[in-house]
Structure 1
Amino acid sequence: MDELDRGLSRLRRVTDQDQLLSGACEAAAESCGFERVMLSQVDEDVWRPTHSYARSARSIERSFRVWMDDVPRILLSHMMLESEMVRRGEPALVLDAAADPRAYRPLADLAGMESFVAAPVVAGDRVIGLLHADNREAAVGELDRDILWSFALGFAQVFERAVLLGRLRDQRAEVMRAMKSVENVLDDLASSEIELSTRERTTALAASRPVHPVVAERPRVLEELLTTRELEVLALMATGATNDRIAQRLVIGTQTVKSHVKQVLRKLRVENRAEAISQYLRLTIGARDD
């Protein structure tokens, strides 16, 4: 258990989500005593292997990595072991992968698994990932299952912390951009001469200023236009985050993110993400002319 604590402690020093996911398998292998570990992402009714680590670079490991890079999204059928773990949120032990009908045959055959353990990575009240582990030269047992389960529980907490820190970094960057915009406006006001405009010129400027369709037709704040989750998605879109990145940050499925993006575009009455981001920055930060 000391090795397990040290492994999780090293992961806690990592704040970037991508680096954390990349290092999870090696940390699990080193701290839990496994020869091979695989991490998968669970997205609604499918799961997809994303990362792996093996202590030795055998030909079978190289073939497995090629398969993992090209593997499609695997549908979680009701007879599959992974479906059971997602549904129950509990670890599993397979003593004979060749004879156990629950084992996913392509994975077991290609990786040469004889026996293995698996554990779900649970964030909040849902499973967001799966860990599989085995030993090439020795069978695994209940103790191995419990050790991997303990690592999965600790890793879930570390990952949720990284997600929260990522959100805070994005919000800080957004605030800094807003402050910079205000600073630029104040600099312009301080350095320029005050000009008195005639009523006619003022009227002409007002008439010629383009009116944004959302502001003109729906003079309401963003909070009234969008749901809380849609606002979170839009804020991350404004940072340049992809749908996959947004899904990781908000701990939701990629398809769910796509649905939110579609609703945001519809409610803001824009055609694409760029226009939505422009709307967001104008309504939250305020255009210089305003």
Structure 2
Amino acid sequence: MTVSSSGRGGTVTDPDRVGSLLPSDREDVVDLVAEVSRVTGSVAVVGADTVHDHRSARRALDLVWDDILSTMSASPAVTAHAVDLLRRVKAVDEALLRRDIATRNQLFGRVREALSALSEIQSTAALVATVPGVVCALGFDRAFISRVEESVWTPEHVVVERDPAWAGEILSIGRENPLTLTAALPESEILRRRVSLVVENVQQREGVHKPIAAVSLSRSYAASPIVTGGEVVGFLHCDCYYQQRDLDETDRQVLATFAEGLGQVLARTLVLDQVGAVRSGLDEIAARLHPSGFGGSMGAALGAPTMPATPAVPTSRPAPEPGFGRRTGAPVPIAKADLTRRELEVLRHMAAGDTNARTARRLVISEGTVKSHVKHILRKLGASNRAEAVSLWWQMQDRTGGASA
């Protein structure tokens, strides 16, 4: 995990962070709150220790503004000092707003740069391992990426900027407690509506992932769906634990924009993974159908460098790594897959290289029926595609000496 330094305590003040408050701005707000309290004779509307980011600072300014107006409405005379305080509150608030806008523009520029860098990654596994660190670079302290499969939410990779050991604990707890998404969870709404959310009061809420909430000590977090091919395949979560601030609308927008771009990048790496898997499967099929060599493998036909002619040896496709858009279970041996007689016939034609249309003609059934059988075959075998199913067929032929299934 790409994290630095250590320690769970302490706070971080970084002007480049999302919503961070400059020390000079904080002093201006705290001084105004104290002065308004003296002028109005009321208890300070907020404590100095609660002004720690732009959101809390602007909330404090709203409260003192209302306090001044309330005092002025109750008094027959409007003092020059009160008017001056209103002007100062307005000036500080507008300065914070301008900085908010500038920071937001800067952040979305960072999102574009981050997505551009991710587009260079060529595999899904590498992408998943990289993403949480990139999210932290956008201004968050902690981030993790999860996969969603059949409504089960499982963390894949966690980064805690200042504590890699803590990241490991959070990941371990998350993997030991994969959570089925129920209506009470905010993530269920994210899955259903495909929207990003900010979740507050995490430690007090019932509808959260309790084991992760307990080990992470998170106060508030933002979460976004990762969508590829029109389907939610995972989540991104982040928070600002060390900055000790609640996340706000800017945080949500930043994460949502990044997650949207990530979905597009992920879709491309998934295609690359699948092309690699299919190519491996095609090489194996070619080797089986043409044991004398066939002038090189199917890989050569697809543009790979040709090798000296040697007896063709079937190559095994590497087992796909669990993750987004992939089946996580191991393929099921054909003998244990409970295939029907017709499904075995269709699989036999698949292994012979027949198309769906040709299989339909040979078995005197419709092409739609063949497609339905192929779908059932892939599901029962736990195969990701036709090439993997055919590979399992040839493995069975090896074990049975070529006898019919």
1:15 CA drift (Å): 0.9
Structure 1 unaligned regions, length at least 5: 188-236, 284-290
Which whole-Å deviations, capped at 9, do the CAs of 1:122-152 have from their partners, x for residues lacking one? 1122211011100012221011011101111
Counterpart of 1:184 (choices 292, 295, 312) is: 292
Counterpart of 2:230 (choices 107, 110, 125) is: 125
The within-5 A match list for 1:1-290 is 1-30=108-137, 32-57=138-163, 60-69=166-175, 71-136=176-241, 137=243, 138-177=245-284, 182=290, 184-185=292-293, 239-242=317-320, 245=322, 248=324, 251=325, 254=328, 262=337, 267-268=343-344, 277=391, 279-280=393-394
Between the aligned partners of 1:275 and 1:4, the Cα distance in structure 2 is 40
Between the aligned partners of 1:144 and 1:257, the Cα distance in structure 2 is 41
Residues 196 and 223 of structure 2 are in contact (CA less than 8 Å); yes or no, is this contact kept in structure 1? yes
Report the residue type matching 1:239 in the other structure: R
Residues 8 and 27 of structure 1 are in contact (CA less than 8 Å); yes or no, is this contact kept in structure 2? no
Percent of residue pairs identical: 22
> Relative contact order (alpha carbons < 8 A, sep ≥ 6): 1 or 2 greater?
1
Q: Give secondary structure in 2 for the equivalent of 1:184.
A: coil
1:56 CA drift (Å): 0.3
Residues 285 and 391 of structure 2 are in contact (CA less than 8 Å); yes or no, is this contact kept in structure 1? no
Q: Give secondary structure in 2 for the equivalent of 1:77.
A: coil
Q: Which structure: larger Rg?
A: 2
Alignment CA distance shift 1:171-1:143 (3 Å) = same
Between the aligned partners of 1:62 and 1:21, the Cα distance in structure 2 is 15
Report the residue type matching 2:250 in the other structure: L
Residues 284 and 391 of structure 2 are in contact (CA less than 8 Å); yes or no, is this contact kept in structure 1? no
1:72 CA drift (Å): 2.6
1:157 CA drift (Å): 0.7
TM-score normalized by structure 1? 0.66
Report the residue type matching 2:292 in the other structure: N
Between the aligned partners of 2:240 and 2:232, the Cα distance in structure 1 is 25
Report the residue type matching 1:268 in the other structure: L
Which whole-Å deviations, capped at 9, do the CAs of 1:26-84 have from their partners, x for residues lacking one? 11111x21110011111112111111111101764453244234x23211111111111
TM-score normalized by structure 2? 0.49
Cα RMSD of the aligned pairs, angstroms, is: 3.7
- Report how many residues are paired: 227
Residues 219 and 246 of structure 2 are in contact (CA less than 8 Å); yes or no, is this contact kept in structure 1? yes
Between the aligned partners of 2:318 and 2:340, the Cα distance in structure 1 is 16
